[in-house]
Amino acid sequence: MRVEEYGERSLQLAGWDVHLTTYKLGDVYHCKADNVSPGAALARTTGATRDEAELKAIERAQQLLGKTRRRVV
Amino acid sequence: MPDYVHPEVLVSTDWVARHLDDANVRIVEVDVDSRAYDEGHIPGAIAWNWQEQLCDRVQRDIIPAGTFEDLMADSGIANDTTVVIYGDNNNWFAAWAFWQLKIYGHNDVRLMNGGRRKWLSESRELTPDVAAVQPVRYKACAPDFSIRALLPEVMAASQAGTALLIDVRSPEEFSGEILAPPGLPETCQRGGHIPGARSIPWGKAANDDGTFRSYEELKRLYGAEGVDGSKPSIAYCRIGERSSHTWFVIKYLLGFENVRNYDGSWTEWGNLVGAPIEQGAGREK
């Protein structure tokens, strides 16, 4: 099998830059959310549609990013 | 990869596609998130789990020589096998695995330039099938710890300037504004960086498609921070995988001999009683 409909895009969640990678593999859409800096994986989700997979990844990433504390230095 | 000092340690996705059936090539996927392999991987590739197979599972350390030999043997890797490693997140843990293979003296190990991301973006073949492997015999070399920095060497570098310290984390981690990458658990007591360290985030060495920047671009990037091969250097991050990526760039793509990876990194230094730290953007350079 091969990846289809591969796409990447950036957005802001909870004040942080996030990178979404979405593609279709077989009948399933996969989505991976990374923080842009440094580029660590936040969420990996699947769905029957692109929107469903991305929504799950965004929700999970938002939960995690919302817990990140910024300190004054 | 003609412009790098050691182009032989990098292969392209095209090269891998042409060698899927090469009996002397073993392709290994090493991901931050090991579920990626299960989703689909390069046909014939096996997977190593960095937490379970590339770390000592009792004390914090790289895997011992005997465990390394077992891993290689069980993976069907003989001493003369060409090992091609790739993974997610721009080859972070692929580079970590590469570094350990070099510690134990494996001769022919290479990274797939661009990693898993590039393979996927090019719509190349994937399979969910786990490759069948015939175990072989493997003998590790005596460990080469000249490419690893431990705490005393890092202390000396910070206090006496015996080596350049390169912090490859994000600017926010370097300054101490955050204690871990956004969204990940905080794994240290304090934020900041090792006194004297230069901030050169790992990602500056990568293109948008995950491949490495050209030799000239890398030379300019590191040279601007004084990393020109005239002095030993030590790369560190939070747990040692992002710094493996930078170590690979400096040692093989730029060809500077004396560079080490400090795998203790900030989770060691930032938790160490009595260790000095700096916060903020760092010294004027």
Question: B171: nearest CA in chain A?
Answer: A37
**Does the residue A48 lie in any domain?**
yes
Task: Say yes or no to pLDDT of A65 above 60.
Answer: yes
Question: What integer pLDDT is reported at residue B35 of this predicted model?
Answer: 87
The owner of tokens 């370097």 is: B174
The total number of structural domains that make up chain B: 2
Least confident of A68-72, B216-220, B253-257, B280-284: B280-284
DSSP H helical segments within B167-272, as ranges?
171-175, 215-223, 242-248, 265-269
pLDDT of residue B285: 38
| Cβ separation A2–B89 shorter than 8 A | no
Q: Please answer yes or no on whether A1 and B126 come within 8 Å at the CB atom.
A: yes
| CATH code, domain carrying B210 | 3.40.250.10
By the CB < 8 Å criterion, does B121 face chain A? yes
Does residue A34 sit at the B interface (CB-CB below 8 Å)? yes
Which among B118, B74, B81, B75 has a CA at the least distance from the CA of B206? B118
| Residues of B in Cβ contact (< 8 Å) with A20 | none
Please report the pLDDT score of residue B281 as a whole number. 87
Domain boundary among B92, B121, B143: B143
Sign of the dihedral through C-alpha A28, A10, A43, B127: positive
C-beta neighbour count of B77 within 10 angstroms: 22
B1 pLDDT higher than 80: no
A7 → chain B, closest CA residue: B121
Domain tally for chain A?
1
Residues of the domain holding B264: 146-269
- Segment A25-39 shows an average pLDDT of 91
Question: How far is it, in rounded angstroms, from Cα B149 to Cα B65?
Answer: 18
Q: How confident is the model at residue A40 (pLDDT cuts 50, 70, 90)?
A: confident
Pair (B24, B136) in one structural domain: yes
Q: Among B70, B131, B47, B31, which residue's Cα sits nearest to residue A34? A: B31
pLDDT digits (tens, 9 = 90+) for B62-98: 999 999 999 999 999 999 999 999 999 899 999 999 9
Mean pLDDT of B256-261: 97
Structural domain ending residue among the three candidates B82, B113, B143: B143
Instruction: List phi, psi (to 5°) of B161.
Output: 70, 30
Structural domain harbouring A11: 3-66
Residues of B involved in catalysis:
237
Q: Count of A–B CB contacts within 8 Å?
A: 96
Most B CBs within 10 Å: which of A31, A68, A69, as the mutation test of the B interface? A68
Average per-residue pLDDT for chain B:
95
In a domain, B108, yes or no: yes
What pLDDT score was predicted for residue B282?
63
Which segments of chain B does DSSP mark as H helices, in order? 13-18, 35-39, 50-53, 65-74, 88-103, 115-121, 151-160, 171-175, 215-223, 242-248, 265-269
